[in-house]
Amino acid sequence: NLIREISTNIIYVEKLFNNKQEMEREARALQMIRPHPNLIDVRCMDQSSIVFERGEGNLLDLVSQVNIEDMTYQLIEGIRALHAINLVHGDIKPNNIVKLGQTIKLIDFGFTGRPGEMRCGFGTRGFMAPELNIPGCRQQQLGPAIDWFAAGVTVYVMRAKRANPMIPISRLLPFNADGTKKPIFGYDFVTEFINACLETNPRNRLLRVRRLVDSL
């Protein structure tokens, strides 16, 4: 829902929950998060809803307005802020990132948890790391490597969507139907980041990404 604060006339977004467990999980994560430019701000919460600042729209809706390189740097900072307090987002994708002016912010912390936490079901198909993409409902482990993989797919899709705005996301994902990776050309920072994030082995993925982002 969109709601207006009477005293300030500011419009906020209210997220309603039917599932108490989902509400509690997201509320716990949000209570741990420190204010950060690239993480959505919370106005208030009660037993069944959370009120957030309102964005202009998610990245896919605003793809023509997004500077991909700047978006990549800001996405990295948002992820690093979460990982610094020992949290994993668990469902990074363009629909879970909103734009406010020139700032992008991560939203939707319903899958967020501690590294090492075991859970059945999180993430979004197409953005899930290969170590999670197993048929059936099996307990999987949260870890920072899954956020980086999803971030790499997100940046790849945003760059591809910018060039081909009418093509469905399913055709823009960086993997072919047989699971092989599509070639990614270029030598700029964004391409390096995508290649590091899409590393199949999670240990190697973390090492490559950390070397890259630590150089920023």
Q: What is the DSSP string of 132-159?
A: T--SS---EE--HHHHHHHHHHHHHHHH
The pLDDT of residue 197: 96
Query: pLDDT tens digits for 40-97?
Result: 999 999 888 999 999 999 999 999 999 999 999 999 999 999 999 999 999 999 999 9
| Angle CA 122–107–134, to nearest 5 | 15
Amino acid 83 reads H
| Angle CA 19–142–51, to nearest 5 | 40
**Among the listed residues 21, 22, 15, the one whose alpha carbon sits nearest the alpha carbon of residue 43:** 15
State the first-to-last Cα distance of the chain, in angstroms, to the nearest integer.
38
pLDDT greater than 70 at residue 148: yes
Query: pLDDT tens digits for 34-43?
Result: 899 999 999 9
The pLDDT of residue 135: 63
pLDDT greater than 90 at residue 121: no
CB within 8 Å of 58: residues ≥ 6 apart: 94, 95, 96, 97, 98, 99
Stretch 118-147: mean pLDDT, rounded? Answer: 82
Q: Read off the tokens for 126.
A: 């197409």
**C-beta neighbour count of 160 within 10 angstroms:** 18
The proportion of the chain whose per-residue pLDDT surpasses 90, expressed as a percent, equals 69
Query: pLDDT tens digits for 178-209?
Result: 878 888 877 899 999 999 999 999 999 999 99
CB within 8 Å of 205: residues ≥ 6 apart: 129, 145, 148, 149, 196, 197, 198, 199
